Copies of this chain bind each other. A is one copy, B any other.
Amino acid sequence: MVAAAANVSRVAVSRAFNPHASIKPEKRDRILKVAQELNYTPDMAARSMVTGRSHLVGIIVPDVSGPWESQELDAMTTALQAEGFATLLFRTRDDFSIDETLLTYMKGFNPDSVIAYAENVRPATLARVLDRAVPIYVGYPDEAEPGSEPAPLSDRLDVLQRPGIEQAIALMQGYGARSFAFLAGKTSSLATAARGSIVRRVLAERGLPPPIEIPGDYTYDTAYRATLDQFRIHGPVDAIFAANDVGAFGAIDALRTELGLRVPEDVKVVGFDDIHQAHWKSYNLTTVRLDLAERTQALLRLILGRLRNPTAPSLVETISTRLVVRGTVG
């Protein structure tokens, strides 16, 4: 507040920086000018204490460097910044064990909102630890397990995974695929569970045999080895549906590099996410798209809506998926 001392009053400075406050324009301009000369910036921590708004949005991800996660993080950070929020980034380990510690730690920063993914955090834990900020919970409603927790107090982004998966299977079947494999993601992941469940159901509906399950964990290396094992030990399949794009890359490389098979002629492959790398020529992957821009906007609506009306009932946004056809099926 030295800026004030150098010139005139004290709360005037506060008003000068707050667009809604009433202050004579010329006075505001003068104060802002002095502030800039003195290199003064309002202290967000102090502001946070009295306004109850930290202008921080917490994001918890299991692996910042995962292509999908990093692309979503990029989009969210850009969008949040445009709205005056800063991204507070946390990284969780794969197991649920440190959930509580991490959430408690994060709570100390009083984020205005928290984005958590179903894969990483149990909804009950989330709801219990955070109170001020209503968390946003990304879930997969179609084909949810009967006993799944209802995510009591949180706003939700529901991702409809079925449409894209139906299109993918229809396309592969149309090109003659009869035997399918589902290359799973991490088993603890709700997303992969929902995807696998949908795949099984859609295959059944179309009169196709149930899929062979190839174990995976969303990584390239595991997908590569697991695909090798599947083909060498258990025998080939006509088509592989991967729970994520990176896994599909691993499967494709295993098929082409080590098994001498052609994609898509010998084996068809479809991924999930449509990350930037999916259009790289070496893969040119047909995949189910989770539209990033759409998703980012939906999350932003949830955040802003909750902040505007803290006592509103649970907010829900829904987005869908669709197939992006490239060169690994036709």
Q: Which residues of A contact B (CB under 8 A)?
A: 39, 41-46, 48-49, 54, 56, 63-67, 69-71, 73-74, 77-78, 81, 86-91, 102, 104-110, 128-129, 131, 220, 224, 249-250, 252-254, 256-258, 276-277, 280-283
Contacts and interface: CB of A to CB of B under 8 A. Distances in A.
B86 A106 contact: yes
Given A41-B107, A73-B89, A220-B280, 10 more contacts: A39-B131, A41-B105, A44-B110, A46-B49, A56-B88, A63-B74, A74-B91, A86-B105, A249-B282, A250-B280
B64 A70 contact: yes
A315 to B, nearest CB: 23
A192 to B, nearest CB: 20
A45 B48 contact: yes
Given A49-B49, A253-B281, A81 B74 contact: no
Chief secondary structure at chain A's binding surface? helix
B45 A54 contact: yes
B39 A281 contact: no
A71 B65 contact: yes
Given A44-B108, A49-B49, A88 B90 contact: no
Contacts of A64: 70, 73-74, 77
A109 B53 CA distance: 13
Given A54-B45, A110-B44, A280-B220, A86 B86 contact: no
Contacts of A277: 220, 277
Given A65-B73, A74-B65, A87-B88, A108 B280 contact: no
Contacts of A66: 70
